[in-house]
Amino acid sequence: MQTRMLGPGFGAEVLGVGLADVVDSDAARDAVREAFDAYSVLLFRGQQVTDELQAAFSRRFGPLETGKVASLGEGTPFSILTNVDRATGALVAPDHKESLRARANQLWHTDSSYKREPAVASVLSARVIPPAGGETEFASQRLAWDRLPAEVRERLHDAFAWHSYSHSRDQIAPHLASAREREAMPPVCWRIRWRNPANGRDSLYIASHTSAIEGLAPAEGTRLLAELMDHITAEGHTWLHRWQPGDVVMWDNRSTLHRGRPWPATDHARLMVRTTITATAADGVDALRPLRH
């Protein structure tokens, strides 16, 4: 296996090893896991992706989430991201819930930080790609932590923040998160710094789901979060992936932000399938939890 750097200090294409190799070989799995911990985002090109292969590959790295309530993948290992009405095959209208969800996914975020069991990794495969737009952009929260002034790192070292699914959805439309979703996914509190046990590297851990910083007045917390988001995603520190047929991207939710980019959604279909791997003690999740709440 070889790797080729893609982004500014993070992100790499994996060469010589594909999804099927990881399913069949512990050595391939271990090599990919080492690269994942080192580069945070991995690209596999030319994959013959099926739901079964994507799920089997993902399970090699930990237990899988089930699709969240009221989503197209509810009760399955898959999150279905599409602007196609599965009943009719037609493209959905701009005010359709799936269109609004796509807009919410265009906010900088890390997957499942709003869940009681956060995610270590996501695996996304491109099934139908528009001719233009619809890219996925990444930013490194680990490199952003390293760039912070020492006094800011000290301030944030033991700070905690609240994450809420409804907080990010409310930024798009007040009705986007249903009452059922709000009840199933109440706010959770996590440490702002996530340490990777494999290499001892620290990362910021915030997202568009982050609603407040514990112990700070709302206005002060909102201001600090905005400053941190601008710092993480500053020009020159992001990487934009332009999808090709057969692409699969795996990323570390502990150490990256990502966002989808717009495309002419009323003219062109887009279908992406994501599997999400739940963080375990081996991924450092226990240190995220506050002593209270």
- DSSP, res 208: T
Cα–Cα distance between 112 and 276 in angstroms, integer? 9
Any residues with CB less than 8 A from the CB of 178 and at least 6 apart, and which? 70
Q: Which CATH number fits domain 2-288: 3.30.365.10, 4.10.93.10, 3.60.130.10, 3.90.1150.10?
A: 3.60.130.10
Nearest of 211, 194, 208 to residue 253 by alpha carbon: 194
Q: Is the pLDDT of residue 75 over 80?
A: yes
Cα–Cα distance between 213 and 225 in angstroms, integer? 8
What are the b/e assignments for 195-229, b being 16+ CB within 10 Å? bbeeeebbbbbbbbbbbbbbeeeeeebeebbeebb
Cα–Cα distance between 100 and 176 in angstroms, integer? 7
The dihedral built from the CA positions of residue 276, 277, 283 and 287, taken in this order, carries a sign that is: positive
pLDDT digits (tens, 9 = 90+) for 206-245: 999 999 999 999 999 999 999 999 999 999 999 999 999 9
Proportion of the chain above pLDDT 90, given as a percent: 96
According to the model, what pLDDT value does residue 69 have? 85
Give me the residues paired with residue 216 across strands. Answer: none
Q: Report if pTM > 0.85.
A: yes
Place 67 in a pLDDT band, splitting at 50, 70 and 90.
Answer: confident
Nearest of 270, 275, 243 to residue 82 by alpha carbon: 270
Cα–Cα distance between 54 and 213 in angstroms, integer? 36
Q: Is the pLDDT of residue 115 over 60?
A: yes
Residue type, 152: V
Stretch 122-144: mean pLDDT = 97
The dihedral built from the CA positions of residue 125, 138, 236 and 8, taken in this order, carries a sign that is: negative
